[in-house]
A and B are shown apart, each in its own frame.
Chain A
């Protein structure tokens, strides 16, 4: 029963779109998505990184602090990711 309710709920969800223009002082001039995220990784490696709806980027080692920083800047988080540390190889 619970399962079918969830299924119905998921089909009712309105598709959402989030567009954010990251501030140039954060990411410089980029030609593609890879170079944009590379810039962010170079700057914020090893941290949780949030791109805010106002284009600002905030980062911290603790995810909770990233939410706090967004609140302090009165902006919502548009996207969140965990930047790998420089040279980090993953074997999850």
Chain B
């Protein structure tokens, strides 16, 4: 069983993810907000100018904290949750794990977001000490 543990940071959980295609990574490791308030994952519209994932749908009734908006939807071939290691003072290591999910729908919005369509695929434990544990 793979187990990932992260600390809360700046008031939020930010987890490193890797977007993978059939022949390898389509993104560099990115830090994404863990957001149980989002039905779907999100990737910045700008980033998809590089990834070129085809738009498969449009959700025109997405309720945000501010407003009701519409977002195009893409399908990410695979999202991989990464392990983040740190060796002081400044060496950072991102490592793919076997915690991954295929065919993850994502909105083209303004941030990298891990939404409920991905969160619900894993066992998640929120700890009192501000840590989050992810297993499957």
Are A24 and B89 in touch, CB under 8 angstroms?
A: yes
**Chain A residues bordering chain B, tally (CB within 8 A):** 51
Determine whether B125 belongs to the interface, using a CB cutoff of 8 Å to chain A: no
Instruction: State whether B103 touches A7 (Cβ < 8 A).
Output: yes
**Residue numbers in A under 8 Å from B98 (CB-CB):** 15
Verify B92–A19 contact, CB threshold 8 A.
yes
The distance from the CB of B15 to the nearest CB of chain A, in whole angstroms, is: 11
**Which residues of the other chain, B, contact A21 by a CB distance below 8 angstroms?**
90-92
How many residues from B make CB contacts under 8 Å with A? 52
- Residues of chain A lying within 8 A (CB to CB) of residue B100: 10, 13
Bound form: Cα–Cα A17–B38 in Å: 29
Question: What are the residues of chain A within 8 A of B18 when measuring CB–CB?
Answer: 16
Let me know if A63 and B46 touch, CB within 8 A: yes
Q: Among B7, B49, B77, B96, point to the contact of A16 (Cβ < 8 A).
A: B96
Binding site secondary structure of chain A: mixed
- Digitize A53-66: 1 where CB-to-B-CB distance is under 8 Å, 0 elsewhere: 00100000011100
A14 touches B (CB below 8 Å): yes
Residue of A nearest to B112 (CB): A82
Residues of A within 8 A of B92 (CB): 19-22, 33, 36, 51, 78-79
In residues 16-47 of chain A, which contact B (Cβ within 8 Å)? 16-24, 26-34, 36-38, 41
| B99–chain A nearest beta-carbon distance, Å | 11
Give 9 A-B contacts (CB < 8 Å), ordered by A residue. Answer: A3-B102, A6-B77, A16-B25, A21-B92, A31-B89, A36-B89, A78-B92, A90-B33, A91-B65
Q: A residues touching B (Cβ–Cβ < 8 Å)?
A: 3, 5-7, 9-10, 12-24, 26-34, 36-38, 41, 50-51, 55, 62-64, 67, 76-82, 84, 89-92
